[in-house]
Structure 1
Amino acid sequence: MPERSTKEMFNEIKKAHGAKEFMTKMQDNFIHTVPAEYLEELLKIKQTTKSEVIRQANLGATTGYQYFDGKRRPSRARMIALGFGFSLTVAELNTMLRRTGYAELYAKDEWDALVIFALNQKFDINRTDELLFRYGLGTITSDN
């Protein structure tokens, strides 16, 4: 069965008479990528190493490797940190967030808007954290 667009799936939800009907009919169209699987996929695409991504993401080695091994599930902020570790664009980071079950960056949210700005300016994670902190919004690495 060809993959359905989000709009098609939304319309199916609206037309469904019961949850079981919809869930059974559409189960092959749901995204079920666990973060560790997607991180492994990105390693191949970006041709980088776990250690380099963890270092660029400003994560502790133990925690970082646990994210890649699937022993721990990263928070949204930690996924964003990993996005910086992979040097992702805004579009690539939003794809990563969406595919791993997190909300995309939202331009109307102050914290997210500054992260979008930083990504577009090609800031590293430290400079991005400084920017967020300057505006009183916490940081990525403090998981606020």
Structure 2
Amino acid sequence: MNERATKELLHAIKTASNVDQFMPTLAPSFTCRPPAEYLAELLQVKQLTKSQVIRQANLTPATGYQYFDGKRRPSRARMIALGFGFGLGLSELNTMLKRTGYATLYAKDEWDALVIFGLVQRYDLNHTDDLLFQYGLGTITADN
């Protein structure tokens, strides 16, 4: 299936006089998916195991497996940690966040800016957490 352009979707939504004019035809174009579904897809694409990603994301095994199994919904920070666990770059991480219903990293937000810097510099999660902590912004892996 061809993905419809965002501008096309926005135009259809803005010009509709009621919801029934666009929802039936646009619903297949919406990209938000449950995190567990997207994580399973990434495992296949990246050819990694759950345990590898969980370890690299500094998650406890019990919590990490619950995220992968869909028993718990990770917070945005935990999704970012999982992105580090997968070794994602900035673009891939933002796509993951967008497609699972979370806000993308925003350069005008101080915490996000340091995470972006860590990703661009290819820092691991621990190094990025150290950077955030150095600036008094907590960490990605701190309990929320």
Report the TM-score when normalising by structure 1.
0.95
Question: Which segments of 5 or more consecutive residues in structure 2 lack a partner in the other structure?
Answer: none
Structure 1 residue 31: deviation in Å? 1.6
Structure 2 matches for 1:33-52, cutoff 5 A? 33-52=33-52
Q: Secondary structure at the match of 1:136?
A: coil
The equivalences for 1:126-137 within 5 A come to: 126-137=126-137
Matched-pair contact (CA < 8 Å) for 1:36–1:67: yes
Are 2:103 and 1:103 aligned?
yes
Deviation at 1:35, TM superposition (A): 0.6
* CA distance in structure 1 between the partners assigned to 2:15 and 2:143 by the alignment: 39
**Alpha-carbon RMSD:** 1.2
- Matched AA of 2:29: N
CA contact (8 A) 1:81 1:125 kept: yes
Distance 1:133 1:143 in 2: 14
2:15 is matched by which residue type in structure 1? K
Identity rate, percent: 69
Contact 1:77 1:143 in 2 (8 A): no
The runs of at least 4 aligned residues of structure 1 exceeding 6 Å deviation read none
Letter in 1 for 2:104: E
State the alpha-carbon separation in 2 of the partners of residues 41 and 57 from structure 1: 17
How many residues end up aligned between the 2 structures? 144
Distance 1:102 1:89 in 2: 17
- Check conservation: 2:114, 2:132, Cα contact below 8 A: yes
TM-score normalised over the length of structure 2: 0.95
Corresponding residue for residue 8 of structure 1: 8
What is the deviation of 1:143?
4.9
Please say which of residues 3-12 and 53-62 is displaced more in the overlay: 3-12
Q: Distance in 2 between matches of 1:139 and 1:115?
A: 10
Match of 1:142 in 2: 142
- Cα deviations by residue, 1:98-134 (Å, 9 ceiling, x for unpaired): 1111111111111111001001111111111110111
Offset from partner CA, 1:40-98 (integer Å, 9 cap, x none): 11111111111010000000110000000010010110000000000000001011111
Q: Structure 1: which 5+ residue stretches go unaligned?
A: none
